[in-house]
């Protein structure tokens, strides 16, 4: 095994390919930096980072929140070092600086949401996997300067393939893991594809947050055969690229895996509107450029200290990446390492071979203002990633802090609306069964928390004990003495009464709470208000 391991990673050749991949990664990172400057928190003038900031990645080592001046310095260093990497000037050093500064900027960009999206993860993973690569030995200013000094071109036996193969794993493994999540959700079957799941995934992606559907999504929603065929193709396209890892001696098949990877990236944009064109240069890693350009391979490698260091880095990267892809996800906040479980759960009811109504739990931000928000303004709030998952929080201090951030940002964004308060609402979204037109109907279940411009915070969030019967409730800013308990079970929008005995600390239920998920709500008949108290969920959203 040890000989095979060394032989695989320290194989001959790859000098030209590493140079091409260096250029491709640098180009992808420059594209990423441009997107960070225009799309994200970095440089967005209306943000209020102090209220929503949650450090991830390298910022977990930094005390407090970085100052704007530091971010600007990092931005300048990132651009300069990545351009230097692109042309191959001090290639290895510039790559290290580019990696550190770009990781810091991208981590800051996603540090204002409970969870981060993956639109910049792949270029950063490839960037990380390329650390230590000998990318400047060919096709670079470094190589040109070496020739000018009359020195022979540098060609290190066994010094190139490990970087190429690790980059392929870094960009193919997330898609493979995503396919594994989808197959696992169906117990190893194709239920994820051969059901109404993709129909409901599309509705959740667009209709729940008020985003216009793509033309391809509209076309797929028209017929079950269309969305099921598309789901099967998606599974295949996500699983095939990882085969390139074993096709090192089959350059045509390996390049074909890269083509499938490109199709998957484009398909994600065409169907789900998640366009990530800055990923596409990374496809260069699937091509054997040395063989394509007729460059001979170097002689076999003898083990050196450099090789041992490279193999150690490979092992650490693979272990960390696999752990986060299949188990840890974002729990360690080690951005950009995480799983890619997007759309992985089956959004359909059993039996999957029948068209049935489907409900999905979620939440939204309601803005209370003197002047109603324009629909486009409300859509902006619904789409805002830092706001999208706040409904999952159950800690009062965290809810108050988050709503303070939402309120400040909404006031800065919409100064003419005279915003008075913001509310966090628990809702359920109902998709009628096919052949009814594909749509989502929203039903608001209860308020989770509310904060007004005077700092008054209202919430009834409590805690459900491990016996599933005892609920501790201490409403803040609310008089719910006459309220009674109801429950919403299994994502259904219809409530059921919840018999309970009121105590000085809350309630004791007549029987253990059942349902998955189930949400306990205090309903006040006098004011017609409903407030979330506690919940229990083991699956889904």
pLDDT digits (tens, 9 = 90+) for 158-195: 999 999 999 999 999 999 999 999 999 999 999 999 99
Q: What is the pLDDT of residues 491-533, one digit of tens each?
A: 899 999 999 999 988 999 999 998 888 999 999 877 889 999 9
Least trusted range by pLDDT, from 127-136, 344-353, 394-403, 474-483: 474-483
Return mean pLDDT, the chain.
Answer: 92
Q: What is the largest CA-CA distance in the chain?
A: 90
User: What is the pLDDT, as a whole number, of residue 541?
Assistant: 35
Question: How confident is the model at residue 113, as a pLDDT?
Answer: 81
Q: pLDDT tens digits for 72-106?
A: 999 999 999 999 999 999 999 999 999 999 999 99
Q: Which tens digits make up the pLDDT trace of 417-468? A: 999 999 999 999 999 999 999 999 999 999 999 999 999 999 999 999 999 9
pTM, rounded to two decimals: 0.91
Burial classification of residue 256, based on how many CB atoms lie within 10 Å of its CB (0-12 exposed, 13-18 middle, 19 or more buried): middle
In Å, how far from its chain's centre is CA 380? 19
Q: Where are the beta strands (DSSP E) in 231-380?
A: 358-369
pLDDT of residue 58: 93
pLDDT score at 129: 98
Tokens encoding 256: 């074909």
Tell me the C-alpha distance between 462 and 465, whole Å. Answer: 10
pLDDT of residue 44 exceeding 60, the answer is no
Could you list the beta-strand ranges (E) of 398-492. 419-431, 441-452, 457-458, 463-464, 470-472, 484-489
In which band, very low, low, confident or very high, does the pLDDT at 41 lie, cut at 50, 70 and 90? very low
What is the predicted pLDDT for the residue at 306? 82
For 335-367, write each residue's pLDDT tens digit. 999 998 889 999 999 999 999 999 999 999 999
Q: State residue 46's pLDDT score.
A: 41
Specify the pLDDT at position 300.
56
**Looking up tokens 């324009």, which residue turns up?**
374
Strand ranges for 122-247 from DSSP E: none
Predicted pLDDT at 341: 86
User: Are the C-beta atoms of residues 387 and 324 closer than 8 Å to each other?
Assistant: no
C-beta separation of 172 from 126 below 8 A: no
Q: Lowest mean pLDDT: which of 205-214, 260-269, 352-361, 471-480?
A: 471-480
What is the signed CA dihedral for 87, 92, 96, 97, rounded to 10 degrees? -50
Residue-level pLDDT at 39: 47
pLDDT of residue 301: 56
Q: What is the DSSP string of 226-241?
A: HHHHHHHHHHHHHHSG
């Amino acid at each position: 095994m040890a000989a095979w391991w060394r032989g695989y990673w320290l194989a001959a050749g790859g000098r030209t390919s590493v140079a091409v991949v260096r250029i491709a990664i640098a180009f992808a990172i420059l594209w990423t930096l441009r997107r960070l400057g225009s799309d994200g928190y970095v440089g967005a003038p209306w943000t209020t980072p102090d209220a929503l900031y949650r450090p991830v990645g390298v910022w977990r080592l930094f005390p407090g929140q970085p100052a704007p001046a530091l971010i600007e310095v990092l931005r300048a260093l990132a651009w300069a070092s990545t351009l230097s990497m692109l042309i191959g000037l001090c290639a290895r050093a510039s790559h290290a600086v580019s990696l550190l500064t770009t990781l810091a900027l991208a981590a800051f960009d996603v540090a204002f949401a409970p969870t981060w999206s993956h639109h910049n993860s792949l270029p950063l993973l490839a960037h990380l996997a390329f650390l230590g690569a000998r990318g400047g030995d060919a096709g670079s200013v470094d190589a040109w300067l070496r020739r000018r000094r009359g020195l022979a071109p540098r060609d290190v036996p066994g010094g190139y393939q490990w970087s190429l193969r690790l980059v392929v794993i870094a960009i193919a493994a997330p898609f493979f893991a995503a396919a594994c999540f989808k197959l696992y959700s169906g117990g190893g079957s194709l239920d994820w594809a051969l059901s109404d799941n993709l129909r409901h995934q599309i509705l959740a992606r667009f209709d729940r947050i008020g985003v216009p559907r793509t033309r391809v999504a509209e076309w797929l929603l028209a017929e079950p055969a269309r969305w099921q065929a598309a789901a099967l193709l998606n599974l295949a396209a996500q699983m095939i690229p990882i085969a390139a890892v074993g096709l090192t001696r089959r350059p045509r098949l390996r390049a074909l895996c890269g083509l499938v990877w490109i199709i998957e990236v484009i398909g994600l944009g065409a169907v789900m509107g998640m366009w990530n064109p800055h990923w596409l240069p990374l496809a260069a890693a699937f091509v054997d450029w040395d063989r394509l350009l007729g460059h001979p391979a170097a002689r076999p490698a003898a083990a050196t200290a450099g090789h041992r260091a490279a193999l150690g880095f490979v092992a650490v990267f693979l272990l960390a990446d696999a752990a986060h892809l299949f188990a840890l996800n974002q729990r360690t906040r080690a951005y950009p390492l995480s799983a890619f479980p997007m759309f992985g759960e089956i959004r359909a009811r059993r039996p999957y071979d029948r068209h049935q109504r489907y409900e999905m739990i979620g939440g939204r931000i309601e803005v209370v203002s003197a002047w109603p928000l324009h629909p486009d303004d409300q859509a902006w709030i619904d789409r805002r990633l830092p706001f999208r998952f706040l409904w999952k929080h159950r800690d009062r201090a965290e809810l108050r802090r988050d709503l303070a951030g939402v309120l400040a940002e909404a006031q800065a964004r919409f100064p003419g609306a005279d915003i008075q308060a913001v509310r966090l609402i628990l809702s359920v979204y109902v998709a009628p069964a096919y052949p009814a037109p594909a749509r989502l109907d929203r039903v608001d279940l209860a308020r989770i928390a509310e904060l007004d411009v005077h700092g008054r915070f209202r919430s009834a969030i409590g805690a459900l004990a491990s016996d599933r019967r005892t609920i501790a409730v201490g409403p803040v800013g609310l008089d719910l003495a006459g309220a009674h308990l109801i429950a919403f079970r299994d994502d259904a929008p219809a409530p059921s009464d919840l018999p309970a005995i009121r105590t000085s600390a809350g309630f004791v239920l007549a029987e253990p709470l059942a349902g998955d998920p189930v949400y306990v709500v205090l309903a006040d008949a006098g004011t017609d208000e409903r407030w979330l108290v506690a919940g229990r969920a083991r699956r889904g959203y």
